[in-house]
């Protein structure tokens, strides 16, 4: 029995899980119909070293896009790091559809921009309340009217505007999820109880 408990405790520590989160989530705001092809997105700072595993786009109403959406991720200086094509059949999470990409490492303390090309006439979300992932901090909204996906340099100055693009991030350092912590706690508690039981038996036998 004690070997099993030790093994469970070891697995809880040796195989940590990584918490995958959406870059930002939104609440409230207005539905806006765009009459021009528009690159819409936002810039952010990585709070710690993270990996980006998917890029996404807001799907107003959850009924799909007029056309597939190209979404890009850039450094603060405009170097393209990754690209995804998000379609109407990609998974929907918190109003955003996400397409997986090869993992991209972002360095803590550096700034980046994520944006997507939305074809007219289609909808986006504006003037929302923004809630950051623990791993990044939203900086400002970006937008430019164009029919090609480019690095958006125009800062709108409107907090929570233009969603728009999104991303999924995972911390490079593992963060144990509650199930792992519970398993570790049960294993250690069992080992402690077993040890206490044998000590008690030894005292009684004297």
Average pLDDT over residues 149-165: 80
| Per-residue pLDDT tens over the stretch 91-107 | 999 999 999 999 999 99
| Per-residue pLDDT tens over the stretch 12-65 | 444 444 568 999 888 888 888 888 999 999 999 999 999 999 999 999 889 999
Average pLDDT over residues 80-86: 97
Structure-token pair, residue 184: 């570790």
Q: Using CA atoms, how far apart are residues 143 and 145, in angstroms rounded to an integer?
A: 7
**Count of CB atoms situated within 10 Å of the CB of 26:** 21
Res. 174 pLDDT band, cuts 50 70 90: low
Whole-prediction pTM: 0.75
Closest CA to 67 of 93, 41, 86, 40: 86
Res. 184 pLDDT band, cuts 50 70 90: very low
Is the pLDDT score of 78 beyond 70?
yes
Is the pLDDT score of 160 beyond 50?
yes
Greatest C-alpha distance within the chain? 89
Is the pLDDT score of 108 beyond 50?
yes
Res. 152 pLDDT band, cuts 50 70 90: very high
**In contact, 145 and 38? CB cutoff 8 Å:** yes
Is the pLDDT score of 162 beyond 80?
no
Average pLDDT, the chain: 81
Is the pLDDT score of 203 beyond 80?
no
Q: Which pLDDT value is given to residue 32? A: 84
| Per-residue pLDDT tens over the stretch 113-138 | 999 998 988 888 877 788 889 999 99
Check residues 155 and 47 and name the one with the higher pLDDT.
Answer: 47
Is the pLDDT score of 201 beyond 60?
no
Rg from Cα positions in the chain: 23
Which residue is associated with the tokens 């899980």?
Answer: 17
């Amino acid at each position: 029995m004690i070997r099993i408990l030790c093994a469970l405790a070891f697995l809880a520590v040796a195989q940590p899980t990584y918490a995958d989160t959406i870059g930002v989530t939104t609440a409230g705001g207005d539905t806006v119909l765009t009459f021009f092809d528009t690159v819409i997105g936002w810039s952010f700072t990585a709070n710690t070293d993270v990996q980006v595993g998917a890029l996404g786009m807001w799907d107003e109403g959850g009924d799909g896009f007029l056309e597939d959406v190209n979404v890009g991720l850039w450094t603060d200086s405009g170097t393209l790091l990754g690209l995804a094509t998000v379609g109407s059949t990609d998974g929907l999470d918190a109003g955003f559809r996400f397409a997986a990409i090869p993992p991209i490492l972002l360095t803590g303390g550096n700034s980046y921009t994520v944006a997507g090309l939305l074809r007219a006439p289609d909808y986006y979300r504006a003037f929302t309340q923004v809630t950051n992932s623990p791993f990044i901090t939203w900086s400002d909204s970006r937008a430019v009217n164009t029919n090609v996906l480019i690095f958006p340099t125009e800062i709108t100055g409107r907090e929570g505007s233009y969603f728009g693009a999104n991303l999924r991030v995972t911390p490079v350092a593992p963060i144990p999820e509650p199930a792992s912590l519970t398993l570790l706690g049960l294993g250690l508690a069992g080992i402690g109880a077993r040890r206490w039981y044998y000590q008690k038996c030894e005292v009684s036998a004297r």
